[in-house]
Chains A and B, each alone.
Chain A
Amino acid sequence: MPAQTLFEKVWRRHEVVAGSAATPAVLYIDLHLIHEVTSPQAFALLRERGLPVARPARTFATMDHSTPTLTAQVFGGAPIAIDSAAKQVRELERNCAEFGVELLGLQHAQRGIVHVIGPELGLTQPGQTVVCGDSHTSTHGALGALAFGIGTTEVGHVFATQCLLQRKPRTFAINVEGGLQPGVTAKDLILAVIGRIGVGGATGHVIEYRGGTIRALDMESRMTVCNMSIEAGARAGMIAPDETTFAWLAGRPRAPQGAQWERAVADWGTLPGDGGAHFDRQIDIDAGSIEPMITWGTNPGMVIPVGGSIPQRGDDAVYGRALDYMGLSAGQPLQGAPVNVVFLGSCTNSRLSDLRSAAHILRGRRVAKGLRMLVVPGSQQIKREAEAEGLDRVFIEAGAEWRESGCSMCLGMNGDLVAAGEYSVSTSNRNFEGRQGKGARTLLASPLTAAACAVRGRVTDPREFL
């Protein structure tokens, strides 16, 4: 058998029927994660056709996108402010009950952002196929799973058959070598990658992040990297499982236990790509040259070092429109630009290490006068862990708001919004026009940079505080 990549091994293990010229492959799905926003129409499809959920034990539901983050609205002291969101919450409860799907509902102690709790609970495991009606499903690739976002019709297909029809994507190796400088994080690394290859640079491909820098990243950092694969257009992002992966997964409630664990680890050890395996594309990244990064425009590829200037690009209409929307000019340095809102959260950067890294800068300091900072942990478990080590106090004493978990201000579906014209430094993944609210201007950055910006009320290089 020819040398295979990690992706090819996982793909081959799940090919129920191989693809042909006439038909795509039938690909088996090990783990199907669902949430309240992209599942209702798929449950409706099952009802229309009189079909059950084929493998409820492989289907797992939570609610995160449109859910409130204010404690009273989550725990019943006040009604959910947005009626249509409340309806989605009730509908998911009803659908899961009717179709026998396990749900970590609004008040469950293990609820959280779907891409945070999958790995956290040990549901996501190396070598699996994982899908969810959400593009940031690529996050789970950090554990060596093949994980990708699907549309609602495909959610219905997985419900009905536990399979999807898929054309095999191409492979793309991103080789990263060298040590990250102090103050430079996984978020800066992935923003630099997207800046280099562009927001459509990996369309049709599954990325595998490789090399010494990636091997040295902890699991949470690996999730941040894989999370934003979709922002380069990739179908998925993957990292080969290793001792770091196994140590992180061991003992998690849904991970294999005892003798099953030993067998699983032995099997997962065979997943990394064979030496000499072919990739359709490869690029090399020098990690040592990466600086803290921040976006200036309206897609994640419009990114510069925090200390840099917005590049000039002649009469490019898209470029001009992005600058108009952002109220910025070509050639302008971003450092020192005013910031109105800081959002620390999202499936990209809401894990305990992200909160710790922001708290490191905020401890004993206050957010700038007039600046609003919202801290939204990725899961209820992370919230409890952060509280146990006093991080909530650090944020509250600094003047930030400490909320219940959810997607929140990453996409503003739940009413956590940035006002029109305001500048938001956000640890999330998308700076599209209107993403955080109509007219809102988003600058994507790492938790360290976000915290530094919060303290100064201006775009700030986090290394000033280290």
Chain B
Amino acid sequence: MQPLQTLRSRTVVLPGANIDTDQIIPARFLTTTTRTGLGASLFADWRYDGTGAARPDFALNRPEARGCSVLVAGHNFGCGSSREHAAWALADYGIRAVISTGIADIFRNNALKNGLLPVVVDGDTGGWLLDNPGVEVTLDVASATLVLPQGRSVSFALEPFAQHCLLEGVDELGFLLARRGVIEAWEQRR
């Protein structure tokens, strides 16, 4: 996993609430057996028209979205299925953080395992970010803060363990593998 310490980027905004994983990556792209290359299919049905051409009015297709690595989205982002393909597609496209007033549980877990930072903010901050697309923000993992353009700093919840994994670029498997003895002893006892 690629480490993530700080991120400075303009935002790209998808304002709708309840953006589900079927929109992030439609099911027909799930017949892959690898985790790479899904960025091209990210938001496929919103991003491309029936002929496969980019829809110019879709936020990710606008020239100012180029190079943005922070996605701001409406409440309850990532609801729906458990497909990790949603996190893979966002990461492969170049998104490293998602900011919303609410992020669905399974998507949140999947995001953290792929170096993609889920940031849940209060309603005022979320509303302001939705109303002001393209602003430059800074995310700092070590202090779990989001810094807005005027220098206002907003803290967000980030588990110490998830924070450690993001900062070091390590996944959780190593932690679990190191406890195999404890797990086996527990199995014997139960």
Interchain nearest-CB distance for A211 vs B (Å):
25
> B27 is contacted by which of A161, A199, A412 (Cβ under 8 Å)?
A412
Alpha-carbon separation in the docked complex, A82 to B30 (Å): 12
Whether B81 is near chain A, meaning CB under 8 Å from some CB there, is: yes
When C-beta atoms are compared, the residue in chain A nearest to B26 turns out to be A434
Whether A277 is near chain B, meaning CB under 8 Å from some CB there, is: no
- Residue from B28, B34, B171 with most neighbouring chain A CB atoms (10 Å): B28
Give chain B residues whose Cβ lies under 8 Å from the Cβ of A38: 82-84
> B18 is contacted by which of A149, A199, A412, A413 (Cβ under 8 Å)?
A199
Is the beta-carbon distance between B31 and A203 smaller than 8 angstroms? no
Which residues A412-440 have CB closer than 8 A to chain B? 412-413, 430, 432-435, 438
Interchain nearest-CB distance for B170 vs A (Å):
13
Report A31-54 CB contacts with B as 1/0, cut-off 8 Å: 000000110110011000101001
Is the beta-carbon distance between B114 and A153 smaller than 8 angstroms? yes
The segment out of B58-66, B72-80, B136-144 that lies at the interface is B72-80
Is the beta-carbon distance between A16 and B33 smaller than 8 angstroms? no
Give chain B residues whose Cβ lies under 8 Å from the Cβ of A157: 172-173, 176
Which residues B2-18 have CB closer than 8 A to chain A? 15-18
Interchain nearest-CB distance for A116 vs B (Å):
17
When C-beta atoms are compared, the residue in chain B nearest to A82 turns out to be B31
Alpha-carbon separation in the docked complex, A82 to B31 (Å): 9
Alpha-carbon separation in the docked complex, A169 to B109 (Å): 13
The segment out of A68-76, A85-93, A285-293, A395-403 that lies at the interface is A85-93
Whether A265 is near chain B, meaning CB under 8 Å from some CB there, is: no
Whether B113 is near chain A, meaning CB under 8 Å from some CB there, is: yes
Is the beta-carbon distance between A156 and B173 smaller than 8 angstroms? yes
Is the beta-carbon distance between A413 and B176 smaller than 8 angstroms? no
Give chain B residues whose Cβ lies under 8 Å from the Cβ of A161: 173, 176-177, 179-180, 183
Is the beta-carbon distance between B102 and A203 smaller than 8 angstroms? yes
Report A301-326 CB contacts with B as 1/0, cut-off 8 Å: 10000000000000001100100000
Whether B155 is near chain A, meaning CB under 8 Å from some CB there, is: no
Is the beta-carbon distance between A318 and B74 smaller than 8 angstroms? yes
Is the beta-carbon distance between B33 and A91 smaller than 8 angstroms? yes
Whether A187 is near chain B, meaning CB under 8 Å from some CB there, is: no
Is the beta-carbon distance between B109 and A150 smaller than 8 angstroms? yes
Whether A216 is near chain B, meaning CB under 8 Å from some CB there, is: no
Give chain B residues whose Cβ lies under 8 Å from the Cβ of A169: 105
Q: A37-B31, A413-B27 in contact; A233/B105 too (CB < 8 A)?
A: yes
- Residue from B176, B179, B182 with most neighbouring chain A CB atoms (10 Å): B176
Give chain A residues whose Cβ lies under 8 Å from the Cβ of B23: 432-434
Is the beta-carbon distance between A134 and B81 smaller than 8 angstroms? yes
Q: A28-B183, A200-B79, A318-B17 in contact; A154/B31 too (CB < 8 A)?
A: no
Whether A23 is near chain B, meaning CB under 8 Å from some CB there, is: yes
* Size of interface on A: residues with Cβ below 8 Å to B: 65
Is the beta-carbon distance between A87 and B31 smaller than 8 angstroms? yes
Which residues B152-190 have CB closer than 8 A to chain A? 159-161, 171-173, 175-177, 179-180, 182-183, 186-187, 190
Is the beta-carbon distance between A17 and B177 smaller than 8 angstroms? no
Alpha-carbon separation in the docked complex, A438 to B45 (Å): 7
Give chain B residues whose Cβ lies under 8 Å from the Cβ of A26: 176, 179, 182-183
Alpha-carbon separation in the docked complex, A132 to B104 (Å): 17
Give chain B residues whose Cβ lies under 8 Å from the Cβ of A199: 18, 76, 79
Is the beta-carbon distance between A84 and B109 smaller than 8 angstroms? no
Interchain nearest-CB distance for A71 vs B (Å):
21
Give chain B residues whose Cβ lies under 8 Å from the Cβ of A256: none
Alpha-carbon separation in the docked complex, A276 to B112 (Å): 36
Give chain A residues whose Cβ lies under 8 Å from the Cβ of B17: 318
Is the beta-carbon distance between B75 and A200 smaller than 8 angstroms? yes
Which residues A221-235 have CB closer than 8 A to chain B? 230, 233, 235
Whether A139 is near chain B, meaning CB under 8 Å from some CB there, is: no
Is the beta-carbon distance between A321 and B173 smaller than 8 angstroms? no
Is the beta-carbon distance between A16 and B31 smaller than 8 angstroms? no
Give chain B residues whose Cβ lies under 8 Å from the Cβ of A405: none
Alpha-carbon separation in the docked complex, A38 to B31 (Å): 9
Q: A17-B179, A17-B182 in contact; A135/B80 too (CB < 8 A)?
A: yes
Is the beta-carbon distance between B76 and A233 smaller than 8 angstroms? yes
Give chain B residues whose Cβ lies under 8 Å from the Cβ of A44: 33-34
Is the beta-carbon distance between B183 and A162 smaller than 8 angstroms? yes
Is the beta-carbon distance between A151 and B109 smaller than 8 angstroms? yes
Q: A160-B177, A161-B176 in contact; A149/B182 too (CB < 8 A)?
A: no
Q: A24-B159, A26-B176 in contact; A411/B27 too (CB < 8 A)?
A: yes
Is the beta-carbon distance between B175 and A165 smaller than 8 angstroms? yes
> B35 is contacted by which of A152, A154, A321, A433 (Cβ under 8 Å)?
A152
Interchain nearest-CB distance for A308 vs B (Å):
21
13 more A-B residue pairs beyond the given contacts A49-B173, A156-B173, with a C-beta to C-beta distance below 8 A? A22-B161, A41-B34, A87-B31, A87-B33, A157-B173, A157-B176, A163-B179, A167-B159, A203-B104, A301-B18, A318-B17, A413-B30, A438-B45
Show 14 residue pairs from A and B whose CB-CB distance is below 8 angstroms, ordered by the A residue. Answer: A16-B179, A16-B186, A21-B160, A40-B34, A82-B31, A88-B31, A133-B84, A150-B109, A151-B109, A151-B110, A161-B183, A163-B176, A165-B175, A413-B31
Instruction: State the 10 A-B residue pairs at the shortest beta-carbon distance, nearest first.
Output: A84-B31, A200-B76, A151-B84, A151-B110, A149-B82, A40-B33, A153-B113, A432-B22, A135-B82, A152-B84
